[in-house]
Amino acid sequence: MAARAEAVTRRLDELLPPADGPRGRVVEAMRYSALSGGKRLRPFLVMESARLFGVDRDNALTCAAAVEMIHCYSLIHDDLPAMDDSDLRRGRATVHTAFDEATAILAGDGLLTEAFAVVADPRCHGDPAVRAELAAGLAAAAGAAGMVGGQMIDMAPERAAFDLEGITRLQRLKTGALITFSCEAGAILGRAPADRRAALRAYADDLGLAFQIVDDLLDCESTPEELGKPTGQDQALGKATFPGLLGAETARARARELIERACGRLAIFAEKPEILEQTARFVLERRF
């Protein structure tokens, strides 16, 4: 993962414009966010899913970078005072803290827009039909039917009293949709048969929910130094969470079940996608 993360950072560096000229400040903020580390889990999923179908590595890496741009935009906007109001992300000052609020909004907008330019570029895939399918899938995952919709529900006043079903529905949109698209992107790039694509989707749906349950657990069990971001925020805001509703032990057991089920979804592949299995275990065991 570390090697892939480095390759993703290099590709992002190539794809993002240089921070010069009158627009320099917003590009500087986009680069500050996108080149600032992170696990690069979503790009990793794009690349590993694509590898199952023999996709050209350069194409997969470009698509992976586009997905990471969307993720970075969501982090910038999520950290804003109007949302989570966080000053720490990936172990350093959030974009609106390091720059200013207006620049952070524009940097998020810039990354969101740039992601679609990257997907539309032939470097992502030679076939325009594949690029159009990727763009449509990415829009659905990131927009009001996916991540943006999930974020809206997360901010609704009634959110505090959500039950397990409500939280699950919300998190499937907020966090899950982009994780699911990351795996599906590999299948789209590789023009995968429908059954393989459906299996990857199902794997990613389970993985995404387990990821969020572990995120909630880390939020109450870790320190800001370990995570590189503030902790305990959901609890402080009285928001319902998986561990809050289930208790930490049952929440972890639920995440474990989801990871087992995710790995089971991969049985359709003649050659076992061991890295995707290991990725699922990483999601369960991660400490950051």
Closest CB 18 distance from ligand GRG, rounded Å: 24
Closest CB 12 distance from ligand GRG, rounded Å: 12
Alpha helices in the chain (DSSP H): 2-15, 24-34, 41-52, 57-79, 95-98, 101-120, 128-142, 147-155, 164-171, 177-189, 194-221, 224-227, 233-236, 242-246, 248-264, 274-285
**Interface with ligand GRG includes 169 (CB under 6 A)?**
no
**Interface with ligand GRG includes 279 (CB under 6 A)?**
no
**Interface with ligand GRG includes 182 (CB under 6 A)?**
no
**Interface with ligand GRG includes 245 (CB under 6 A)?**
no
Closest CB 41 distance from ligand GRG, rounded Å: 5
CB 147 within 8 Å of CB 141: yes
Report the candidate in 223, 236, 17 with the shortest Cα–Cα distance to residue 107: 17
**Interface with ligand GRG includes 283 (CB under 6 A)?**
no
Those residues whose C-beta lies under 8 Å from the C-beta of residue 100, and which sit 6 or more positions away, are none
**Interface with ligand GRG includes 48 (CB under 6 A)?**
no
Backbone φ and ψ of 21, nearest 5°:
75, -175
**Interface with ligand GRG includes 19 (CB under 6 A)?**
no
Listed ranges 55-63, 146-154, 157-165, 239-247: which one lies at the site for ligand GRG (CB under 6 A):
146-154
Contact residues for ligand GRG, defined by CB under 6 A: 38-39, 41, 71, 74-75, 77-78, 83, 90, 147-148, 151, 174-175, 212, 215
